[in-house]
Amino acid sequence: MKLLEYEAKQLLRKSHLPVPDSKLIASIADIVTITTPIVLKSQVPTGGRGKLGGVVIVEDANELNQTAKQLFTLDIKGFTPNALLAEEKIEIQDEHYLSLLIDRDTGTIRLVAHRDGGVEVENNQADDFLNIPIDNDAIDSCAVELATYLRYDITLISPFLKQLYRAFIDNDATLLEINPLIYTKTNELTCSDCKMELDDSASFRHPDWQFENTAPNANFVTLNNNGTIATIANGAGLAMATVDAVATAGMTPANFLDIGGGANTASVLAAFQKIVSFPHISAIVINIFAGITRCDEVARAIIAAKQQMTDLPPLYIRLAGTNFEEAVALLSAENIPTLATLEECILNAKEHTHA
Ligand code: GDP
Ligand code: MN
């Protein structure tokens, strides 16, 4: 799983790595707590923000509000942020690239570095990079190589690299990339940007892993704000098939949603809340094929979520798989009908839309 910059930096801070001071701006109202100069950074799950206007240094306090508003609406590679990171402005002496990553071919960790970091890093020649295997036993010699390559004193590099390596291991990371690693005008290193990916299969030993992209409905995709049919399905393939069936029937799907294996009251409720914010929805098609997910769990979630929503459009539900009969019984007790096939859901939704 990929983390947002501010989430990755929280983990770095916990591992005692130097990170600029910052505040998270969750909405425009929070901007009053900020003083200039400041760097405002769009928290989208993609890199290359600097070149696309997603990282802005604000010197003039009068421009804070306007710049923050623009950043909240600026589309970066298909993403708009839920939050901005307002970060202390660092005076740069030098920018470097430094990363640790899993080399899947050899099952080892590699350290990759470049003297010239920053937004143009991919323009560097491949053979200019330092690219060496690293592990706990080799860490001292790696630090010497890195210090020599970046031309810093070993007393600066060694503790930094040891903490970075610890952060990588302790967090079960598969990628930890610092770009730029800034050498400041006061001769210190700081992690100015961080891209971090964690090993999903290690999540069982990290109960504290609560990140934005694992939040309910992180993969809710708006297809058309004026769409008339909303969709909820489990599994990306089934979700796409559901959207396609709506479109094939001549209606406009408003969204794509793979609600995932753990469809629960919170995730169904979050989906309903998003759906009712669309202006023209006339029906919600729910298409669940339960394997590990149990239909009765989904049914309970739908019932509980529906009870909390008064203005919900009609639901057309197809459930199949594990505990299907129990789910149908639960739903019909609440007067929520279920249909045998997706096609029937679509037909009913269409009739209702035309009525
Ligand atoms: P990315 O483009 O998504 O990788 O975003 P970064 O966080 O790496 O920011 C892009 C560039 O903005 C960096 O390479 C820096 O040159 C510049 N930048 C970011 N923070 C600061 C800062 O505190 N001070 C200065 N002077 N430049 C910064
Ligand atoms: Mn960067």
Q: Whose CA is nearest to atom 11 of ligand 1?
A: 50
Residue of the CA atom closest to atom 6 of ligand 1: 193
87 a catalytic residue: no
C-alpha 81/C-alpha 56 separation (Å) is 14
Q: Which pLDDT does position 215 carry in this prediction? A: 65
DSSP 8-class letter at 13: H
Secondary structure class of 182 (helix, strand, coil): strand
Phi and psi, residue 290, nearest 5°:
-90, 125
The best mutation among 77, 79, 192 to test binding of ligand 1, ranked by most ligand atoms within 8 Å of the C-beta, falls on: 192
Cα→Cα distances 341→81, 252, 268, Å: 37, 20, 20
Which pLDDT does position 115 carry in this prediction? Answer: 97
pLDDT value, residue 216: 65
pTM over 0.75: no
Q: How many Å apart are CA 242 and CA 335, to the nearest integer?
A: 24
Q: Is the CB of 180 under 6 A from ligand 1?
A: yes
| Nearest atom within ligand 1 for CA of residue 88 | 23
Low-confidence residues of the chain: pLDDT under 50: none
Catalytic residue among 7, 87, 95, 177: 177
Identify the residue whose C-alpha is closest to ligand 1 atom 14: 118
For the CA of 117, the nearest atom of ligand 1:
14
Residue 71 three-state SS: helix
Give the pLDDT confidence score for residue 43 in this predicted structure.
95
Determine whether 152 is an active site residue.
no
